Amino acid sequence: MPDAPSPSLATNVAIALNAVIAVVDGDQPKVLTVRGPDRTLALPYGPFDPERHRTFEIGVREWVERQTHVSLGYIEQLYTFGDKGREAPAAALAESIGERIVSVGYLALAPEAADLIGSDALWHDWYALFPWEDWRDGEPKVLRERIIPALNAWTARGRNADMKRDRMARLNLAFGLGGFNWEEERTLDRYELMYEAGIVIESWRDREAANLALPSGDRSEAKAIGHAMISDHRRILATAIGRLRGKLKYRPIIFEMVGSTFTLLQLQQTVEAIVGFKFHKQNFRRSVEKSGFVENTGETTSDQVGRPAALFRVNREGLKDRAASGLAIPRLRRAND
């Protein structure tokens, strides 16, 4: 049996807690952020304290409330992030140089953007962080003019034919090219491919911090493609967006993000904001009305231009009966139409 590693060579592991708190404000999907040590955007985060926190969830709720004064409602564990090297930009959490930080991410949903106390917390439009993900007005300009050309150049720089083929296959699948369709759930795949290619500024920053060779590409271009976040927080957020987009199709969690009453148009705009595509209005309406998830209140609202719109509310019994069902997503157009 091999000898046990020397205690002096053992790596200390610290557990951090991160929260992605998502709302839709009008037609803007937003995430709750705080300012990191250098004023860079961060998700609410903090260390897990086994003496004070009986569970991870208790810990993340405490950190969010302490940093943002927001109390969380619906919350679910997202993923555990423990890649070696991810902790370097978040060294403020570590007590020693040899400490490895493993982060447990959570996804929380809310029906509205709560008022925030203090200047360090703010609701941030997630399409300012991922501008290539919003197709509601057609193909994003940044995708066509900057990202795809840069990824094609990165593909061409492959060391050999096999690497070039592999890169092209990944590019086509992630970005809906070469006969594939754009799949909104692949948010993380797209971000990780861009990170590997040096198209997001975090890739340059992290390589510098680790004394690694810098990416082949244009640093100023990378800096201009979406707002940066500390550590791997943009990767955590990409994971959360992909999870939420996919889960809409098989769980009725969208109703955690609407008010007590709503019109079907408001519900449609909320789902469109998350998915990043416009829907066929009549198909969406028929799908919702047949789902059993909502019921007509018998009241109308006159806030919209034109005819008063019927107000609906969540049918709690319907949600209970169909907890394993989601909403149909009737896109108005496909990404590569």
Half-sphere exposure of 247 toward its Cβ, with a 13 Å CA cutoff? 17
Q: What is the pLDDT of residue 129?
A: 97
Calculate what percentage of the chain has a pLDDT beyond 70: 88
pLDDT at 9: 42
Give the separation between CA 202 and CA 258, rounded to whole angstroms. 33
pLDDT at position 39, please?
A: 83
Q: Are 291 and 268 in contact (CB under 8 A)?
A: no
Q: Which of 34-38, 92-96, 165-169, 216-220 has the lowest mean pLDDT?
A: 92-96
**Mean pLDDT of all residues belonging to the chain:** 86
In contact, 126 and 31? CB cutoff 8 Å: yes
pLDDT at 10: 47
Check whether 66 has a pLDDT greater than 50: yes
Domains annotated on the chain, with CATH: 12-128 (3.90.79.10), 131-225 (no CATH), 251-321 (1.10.10.10)
Burial class of residue 115 (count of CB atoms within 10 Å of its CB; 0-12, 13-18, 19+): exposed
Per the listing, tokens 């897990």 go with 48
The pLDDT value recorded for residue 23 is: 96
What tokens were used for 84? 């070696």
Q: What is the pLDDT of residue 37?
A: 72
pLDDT for res 7: 45
Query: Residue 334 has what DSSP assignment?
Result: -
Q: Is the pLDDT score of 95 beyond 70? A: no
**What pLDDT does 218 receive?**
84
- Residue 171, pLDDT above cutoff 60: yes
Q: At 32, which helix (H) or strand (E)?
A: strand 28-35
Under a CB-based contact definition with an 8 Å cutoff, are residues 178 and 168 in contact? yes
Q: Is residue 147 over pLDDT 50? A: yes
pLDDT band at 110 (very low <50, low <70, confident <90, very high): very high
Cβ neighbours of residue 257 closer than 8 Å, sequence gap 6 or more: 22, 23, 24, 109, 110, 111, 270, 274
Q: Considering only CA atoms, which of 57, 86, 89, 70 is closest in space to residue 31?
A: 70
Average pLDDT over residues 148-174: 96
The pLDDT assigned to 59 comes to 92
pLDDT tens sequence across 292-317: 899 999 999 876 566 789 999 999 88
**Do the Cβ atoms of 54 and 243 come closer than 8 Å?**
no
Res 287 pLDDT > 80: yes
Once rounded to an integer, what is the mean pLDDT over residues 154-158? 95
Q: Which residues does residue 99 pair with via DSSP β-bridges, in sequence order?
A: 12
pLDDT at 337: 44
Per-residue pLDDT averaged across 158-162, rounded?
Answer: 96
Give the lowest-confidence range in 46-60, 212-226, 259-273, 283-297.
212-226
pLDDT digits (tens, 9 = 90+) for 2-42: 455 444 444 678 888 999 999 999 999 999 999 877 888 99
Low-confidence winner among 33-47, 155-169, 252-266 (lowest mean pLDDT): 33-47
CB-based contacts of 27: which residues, under 8 Å, 6+ apart? 269, 272, 273
Q: At what angle do helices 187-196 and 233-247 cross, to 10 degrees?
A: 150
Question: What is the pLDDT confidence band of residue 89, given thresholds at 50, 70 and 90?
Answer: very low
Q: How many Å apart are CA 236 and CA 5, to the nearest integer?
A: 32
Contact assessment for residue 111 and residue 258, using Cβ atoms and an 8 Å cutoff: yes
Instruction: Please state, in angstroms and rounded to a whole number, the distance separating the CA atoms of residues 52 and 221.
Output: 44
